[in-house]
Amino acid sequence: MPLDGAQVVTSSASSALFEGIADNGTFFLDWIEGPEDELGVALQRLRGALRCNAAWMMHEEGMTLDEIVPIIAEGGFQDPVTARSRLAFLGHNLRAPFVYAYWCGDMAVHEVWSKVPAERRAEFWEYLYGNMHTPTTLKTYWA
């Protein structure tokens, strides 16, 4: 994708849902089979929230990545090398805004998905993939 195309997607109100669809794939495939899977999802969501905090620390509080990494690594139960690699995009002008789309999209799609009865899942997917949405319009107009 050319850089100007990536900018449009980053700035799109629907990009959060693109990310949320991917993050909820294990739920869509019915691959959450027990407590270990639920714990894995909780850990990924914790790390997503921590990346949002890291973005705030970097872009609002002016902290460096070197200062942020130990905080996020400890809070996310990761080694510092892994945490640094997961936070590196926060310094990229085009990619950094996605941090909020990742978190908000996951939460927005899951909030609606968790209320979809099994017999309506095919209808939900058709609605989700067949229409452009924001997190708010998905929640408001899915019935």
61-116 residue pLDDT tens? 999 999 999 999 999 999 999 999 999 999 988 788 889 888 899 999 999 999 99
CA-based end-to-end distance of the chain: 34
Share of the chain above pLDDT 90, in %: 65
d(CA 15, CA 134): 8
Q: Could you please report the per-residue DSSP string of 59-117?
A: HTS---HHHHHHHHHHHTT--HHHHHHHHGGGG-TTTTTHHHHHHHHHHHHHHHHTT--
Q: How many Å apart are CA 105 and CA 99, to the nearest integer?
A: 10
Please say if the pLDDT value at position 2 is more than 90: no
Residue-level pLDDT at 11: 59
Lowest-pLDDT choice from 21-25, 43-47, 85-89, 91-95: 91-95
- Structure pTM? 0.84
Q: Does the pLDDT value for residue 6 go beyond 80? A: no
Question: What pLDDT was estimated at residue 18?
Answer: 82
C-alpha span between 10 and 19 (Å, rounded)? 11
Mean pLDDT, rounded, of the chain = 89
